[in-house]
Structure 1
């Protein structure tokens, strides 16, 4: 059973996702399929996004999203998570060049193979954004 505090966290998370998520043509975005197969996990994930990205914190949302790109690039095999954060970073106002520079920096920590894979995901994400803009 959800408490009023859980409901508040959930609503804050939903509002945050609406603010940062860029439509990249994925139905339900990053959390695709969870509504039916893992609804409690989806809810907790949405609450977590609200906790981590929203509210009064010393690091602004735009910076957090670019940091998330750097961290997600270390797990480049999870394309959806990296794509989501690249799209959110672009929506927040970071340029494609800035996103790629962060991925280049990540190579020092994650290795070149991982960074190359992350840049490939970024390029595909940029192409999806360009296609969406044309529609």
Structure 2
């Protein structure tokens, strides 16, 4: 059972995700509906409604930190692809994304950084030469 506060967090999270990724997140909700609908809610409420909505860091910085964390994990290619795109949506440059990934070679290892660079290359190619307008806070 959810209360009004949870519904506010969900709505805030869905709005923040849409601003960051340009997508509603409904595909995530639908994909998890048959197996773990509560998990999808947690992603929106906690991840985007609470953490990504906090003051203190702008979205560009948050997204570069997220890219770094995903590179360090070394096993989150799908999420890395989404968040590299989101970093670009939030005003990070391709150079900043590449430098963030290269920095992780020191901490996550060269194989993790190399894999992430190939993900970045794929994201950049899919976007062509058009850089999206940064997302406003």
107-116 vs 58-67, which moves further: 58-67
State the match for 1:54 in structure 2: 53
Give 3-state SS (helix, strand or coil) of 2:56's partner.
coil
Partner Cα distance (2:61, 2:18) in 1: 18
State the match for 1:33 in structure 2: 31
Gaps of 5+ in 2: 132-137
Report if the CA contact (8 A) 1:9-1:47 is conserved.
yes
Q: 1:131 to 1:38 in 2, by over 3 A?
A: farther
6-15 vs 44-53, which moves further: 44-53
Partner Cα distance (2:73, 2:123) in 1: 16
State the match for 2:2 in structure 1: 2
Higher relative contact order (CA 8 A, sep 6+): 1
State the match for 1:125 in structure 2: 123
State the match for 2:100 in structure 1: 102
Q: How many residues align?
A: 129
Q: Within 5 A, what are the aligned runs for 1:16-27?
A: 16-22=16-22
Partner Cα distance (1:102, 1:53) in 2: 19
Partner Cα distance (1:114, 1:19) in 2: 28
How much does 1:95 deviate? 1.1
Gaps of 5+ in 1: none
